[in-house]
A and B are shown apart, each in its own frame.
Chain A
Amino acid sequence: MKPELKLVSAQTPPAAITVTDFSAAYGDVNVIKNISLSVPEKSVTCLLGPSGSGKSTLLRSLNRINDDVAGFTTKGDIHIGESCVHKGFTDVTRLRAKAGMVFQTPCVFPGSIAANVLFGLKGRKLSKIEKAQITEQSLRAAALWKDVSHRLSAPASTLSVGQQQRLCIARALAVTPDILLLDEPTASVDPVSAREIETLIKTLSKDYTIIMVTHDVRQAGRVADRAIFLCDGEVIEQGPRDHMFSKAALPKTRTYLLEEFCDC
């Protein structure tokens, strides 16, 4: 039995996130229905599915950003590493620092580009040199350093929408998360910027566990190492990209991936 176990471990990296029998509801409306899945570390996992399938709710449950939404309830377990998201992280801010999130619409704070990068670090005692290092590292990691290194004190609002989204990624990286949760990060940017962000996501997946919600099946085909197809709050099928895009087992998955249509 041991050689088999070794083989499995070689093919599938250890899970960074494990979701077990998880359900979520807004009031009486169940949006996620008893799903189980795992996300391997240092890879890109795309959550695919039609509108209302529960992709964003699942993503927002991973860092408990929905905690303050009136009527939002969950059941089941989500583990990040060894820690249970709901029981292990009594301090939800620590969980959110560990699982950084970037939203659909880029939202830069008033202030300079450098101030935006360091926004999540305010309150920490950092020297000027440390701040400069973190700013440069984060902007380099977000592939924005070349564009803005000469104008770090310029207002962040002067950047293009695509650059603003990369600045949001840099801001999330500055707090040194292990996981990046991306909620349709290219939905509001132009195709050229979208491609740049896709390349960036692939690069970042060497160091971070990335979970990305997307409506764009072709984008998932370009970016994902693993895909999870959700429909009506249930996981229909999940697996490595090659499996999902060339030999998905279920007709429903094949129909959605080919025609971006789902009748569930």
Chain B
Amino acid sequence: MSRRALSDRAFRLAGYIALGLCLCVLGALLFAIAYAGLKAVSFDFLVMPSKDFGAAGGIRWQIIGSLLMAVTASALVLPFATALAVYRADMARSARVKRFIDLSVFSLNGIPSIAYGLFGLIVFVNILGTGLSWFVGSIILAMMMMPTVTHCALSAMQSLPSGVRENGYALGLTRRAVITRITLPQSLHGIVTGLMIGLARAIGETAPIMFIATAFSGVSLPSGLQGPVSTLPTHILALAQQATNPDALRNAWGASFVLIGLVFLFSTAAFIARTRLNPYSERL
């Protein structure tokens, strides 16, 4: 066998091993959660409120609380992240400004989630005196989602065919028209993908919202912007701390299964958006 064929085969084998390891980790995780979680999941589990500190009843308010915070965070982050990506892609002329934006976005992405939580506690709860507020939690989640959404939107905007904007300008379109009629519609897939990936991450976060936006039990829907909600991650955390109680542990697995399902749903939506909404996708 020639040296080239041997190295081809070695690279292919390395690729298969890496793929296999990835699939094993994902498969083991999904299997464990599905195996233990499905025992707890039923229609009642999904629609009933929790009782007995979560050891009995369902997870209705936790699902609603998680979705409420995640959707609000998405609504908050969307205009800011899109505007930042548009500015970076279509408006910023100075290389220094562009580098600064890139560095900021990457740095924000690397900040540990607990740091976001502490920031929210100090700024909103201690300094601004908001008290426990699900809306403040959404703001913090939006801050966490910002780099992901910005990065995905920016990547889509930068990957537009090179002459597409120039063709718009050559037709006499203003910068605003080029942004609204060319850049934004043609990079919608990146914006939506970023939003879905950000949502998938935000809905599973515990640390950033633990101190400022959630209660472990005994809450339902908030009446306004103030007041805490209960979310799936904090509910799982609370139940996991009652590890000696088999009912609590079973419900923790059930809640984990539902949480993974929601994350999977958003990830799938991101995957579909990436191809379906891309006007230059091979599919078209």
Contacts and interface: CB of A to CB of B under 8 A. Distances in A.
B68 to A, nearest CB: 35
Interface residues of B, number: 22
B207 interface: no
Interface of A: 63, 65, 68, 70, 93-94, 96-98, 100-103, 105, 107, 109-110, 119-120, 122-123, 155, 157, 168, 171-172, 175
Interface string B153-166: 00000000101101
Contact of B171 (A68, A97, A155, A157): A97
A63 B170 CA distance: 8
B245 interface: no
B276 interface: no
A81 to B, nearest CB: 17
Contacts of B166: 65, 103, 107
Q: Which of B167, B186, B280 has the most CB of A within 10 A?
A: B167
A109 B182 contact: yes
B284 A155 contact: yes
A157 B173 CA distance: 22
Contact of B186 (A98, A110, A119): A110
Task: Tell me whether chain A's interface is mostly helix, strand or loop, or mixed.
Answer: mixed
Nearest to B281: A110
A171 B171 contact: yes
A123 B176 CA distance: 12
A101 B172 CA distance: 10
A124 to B, nearest CB: 11
A70 B174 CA distance: 18
B171 A172 contact: yes
Given A65-B169, A97-B172, A107-B163, 19 more contacts: A93-B172, A93-B173, A96-B170, A98-B172, A100-B170, A102-B170, A103-B167, A103-B170, A105-B163, A107-B167, A109-B164, A109-B182, A110-B185, A119-B168, A120-B173, A122-B177, A157-B284, A172-B170, A175-B171
Given A93-B174, A122-B177, A107 B169 contact: no
